Amino acid sequence: MGFLIKRVGAALLVLQMLAMPAMAEATMGDDGLHKTTWMRDTFRDLREDLAEANAEGKRLAIIMEQRGCIYCNKVHAEVFPVPEIDSYIRENFFFIQMNMFGDVEWTDFDGETLSEKKMAQKWGLMFTPTMLFFPEEVEDGVTATQAAVVNMPGAFEKYTTLNILKWVIEKGYETDESFQSFPSPAKSRMLCMS
């Protein structure tokens, strides 16, 4: 009888796994950075990227990463593949990726064009991954870090990441509610456990 229960349980587990939506795994690019299907390849001008994000009804975000980053690996292996997080990013964000030590040139919101590594220095970014989230409108003459409504340095767990994504979309930064009280971690943990 125990054997039959184990076989039925195994069959149910297989069926449950097959019923789960397929999440695209990150692949490793030639630059040593993780690549996901929701990352955008653009002309590397933040003003143009913002306009394109707005045209799609999405929020512009940058993820700064580096080759060999164990924390970048952690978020790509454990956080971004969570179905709720993956689908939330796809539905709401226009993510571009930058290489903290890369040589590709980008144009900042203030019009200055620099290599990725010089841009990271200009913005004072020291940790990877770092995510910058932007409002729909950015004033002339400001840098990306001045324009960002949220600067998220480092790798955080699933529920914190999902909460920050929601907080940005719901414009929690425009209210008196701090991120730490938005929503309770227990509620978000439940979302990420499925």
What is the average pLDDT value for the chain, to the nearest integer? 86
pTM score above 0.85: no
pLDDT number for residue 186 = 47
At residue 131, the pLDDT reads 97
Range of the domain at 109: 26-192
Query: What digits encode the pLDDT tens for the residues 110-157?
Result: 999 999 999 999 999 999 999 999 999 999 999 999 999 999 999 999
Question: 15 in a domain, yes or no?
Answer: no
Residue 76 lies in a domain: yes
How confident is the model over 69-114, as pLDDT tens digits?
A: 999 999 999 999 999 999 999 999 999 999 999 999 999 999 999 9
pLDDT band of residue 179 (cuts 50, 70, 90) is confident
Q: Is residue 10 assigned to a domain?
A: no
Residue 19: inside a domain, yes or no? Answer: no
**Packed helices 83-92 and 185-192: angle between N→C axes, nearest 10 degrees:** 100
29-61 per-position pLDDT tens digit: 899 899 999 999 999 999 999 999 999 999 999
| Percent of the chain clearing pLDDT 90 (strictly above) | 73
Rg (CA), the chain: 19
Within-domain flag for 125: yes
Asked, for residue 72, whether it belongs to a domain, the answer is yes
CATH of the domain at 109: 3.40.30.10
- Is 152 domain-assigned? yes
Is 12's pLDDT higher than 90? no
- Per-residue model confidence (pLDDT) at position 63: 98
pLDDT at 190: 46
> How many separate domains does the chain show?
1
The burial of 163, by beta-carbon neighbours within 10 Å (0-12 exposed, 13-18 middle, 19 or more buried), is given as buried
Contacts of 187 by beta carbon, 8 Å cutoff, 6+ apart: none
Residue 19 has pLDDT above 70, yes or no: no
Instruction: Give Cα 37 to chain centroid, integer Å.
Output: 12
pLDDT recorded at residue 29: 87
User: What is the pLDDT, as a whole number, of residue 189?
Assistant: 47
Q: What is the DSSP code (8-state) at residue 165?
A: H
Q: Is 108 part of any domain? A: yes
Give the amino acid at 192. C
